[in-house]
Amino acid sequence: MVNGHYEVALPWKSEEAKLPYNRLMAERRLTYLKKRFIKDEELFGKYCSKIKELLDCGFAKRAPHVKTQGRTWYIPHHFTGQKFRVVFDCAAKFQDVSLNDQLLQGPDHTNKLVGVLLRFRQERIAIVADIKGMFHQVRVNPKDYDALCFLWWPNNDMTQPPVDFQMVVHLFGATSSPSCAGFALLQVAKDNLPQADETTLQTVKHNFYVDDCLKSVATPDEAIKLVKNLADLLHCGGFHLTKYLSNDRDVIASVPEVDRARATLNLDLDEMPVERALGVQWNTSSDQFEVQVNIKPKSATRRG
């Protein structure tokens, strides 16, 4: 535990692993991005705000000039669609080597999906929430910073040469991140056994699917108590639960507005919202799972 967050070193396959110096590859990938940015100012603005967020939150920092010989790696980055997100490409290869090739996947701490969904249907009052930026809440060891370098322009000025930054947290896209983050989440429960009640501990152990919490209890009072206890426990490990959703209005009313799922901000809605629970649509009004099927019309031929 370092400054309120867990620190888990990158699990290298070999302590003697050597990485080729790949800054040229990262520069080339950034040049492709630059061409997109020149054509699309709005895209560049979104990207800049995401990079600023990484720096402001302390997830990334300017890299020093002296770096570890054989353990310095530049990770190219790009963006994904609907939920605009900057993704670090840890699978990118240079001289037939990638960062993911050098890392162990680690033990699987993820609960079985069917089990999580069945336990979610067990009791009358259901709660859904997720951990904000789960991987980024787990720090890496400082000796691993140089393996997580990336390039960006100083002051977002594309006319200047890019400079070196480095991530100091586990990345979305690294093969080891789910295991390291899952380990840290379970460690919260282990480190706080005396203070936490049994229901809260069991929720951490059995009702999370990676960063998604799906839990059901018998009464609204139990749910309200659990929401508070769970938030307090996870806070001990630097994790923050947000986007709460429930099929009970009193439970949602007990959650600060900023941490409610967007669809539930207005509690005067006639209809409770339909939200997604691990890829399945959950209608909170009827408390039923729904599947949306879109069948495209095809011509009445054998192929159709």
CATH code of residue 56: 3.10.10
Residue 2, domain member (yes or no): no
Residue 212, domain member (yes or no): yes
Question: Looking at the structure, do residues 181 and 279 belong to the same domain, yes or no?
Answer: yes
Asked whether 207 and 184 are in contact (CB, 8 A), the reply is no
pLDDT of residue 273: 58
Q: Which of 91, 100, 181 is nearest to 140 (CA)?
A: 181
Question: Looking at the structure, do residues 248 and 117 belong to the same domain, yes or no?
Answer: yes
Domain tally, the chain: 2
Evaluate if residue 41 carries a pLDDT over 90.
yes
Residue 297, domain member (yes or no): no
Question: Looking at the structure, do residues 30 and 148 belong to the same domain, yes or no?
Answer: yes
Residue 172, both tokens: 């979305």
Give phi and psi for 179, each to the nearest 5.
Answer: -70, -45
Give phi and psi for 201, each to the nearest 5.
Answer: -65, -45
Domain of 265, in residue numbers? 113-134+177-290
pLDDT of residue 263: 63
Residue 3, domain member (yes or no): no
Q: How confident is the model at residue 156 (pLDDT cuts 50, 70, 90)?
A: very high
Question: Looking at the structure, do residues 181 and 271 belong to the same domain, yes or no?
Answer: yes
Q: How confident is the model at residue 112 (pLDDT cuts 50, 70, 90)?
A: very high
pLDDT of residue 4: 93
Question: Looking at the structure, do residues 66 and 49 belong to the same domain, yes or no?
Answer: yes
Question: Looking at the structure, do residues 151 and 272 belong to the same domain, yes or no?
Answer: no
Residue 223, domain member (yes or no): yes
Residue 28, domain member (yes or no): yes
Average pLDDT over residues 1-7: 94
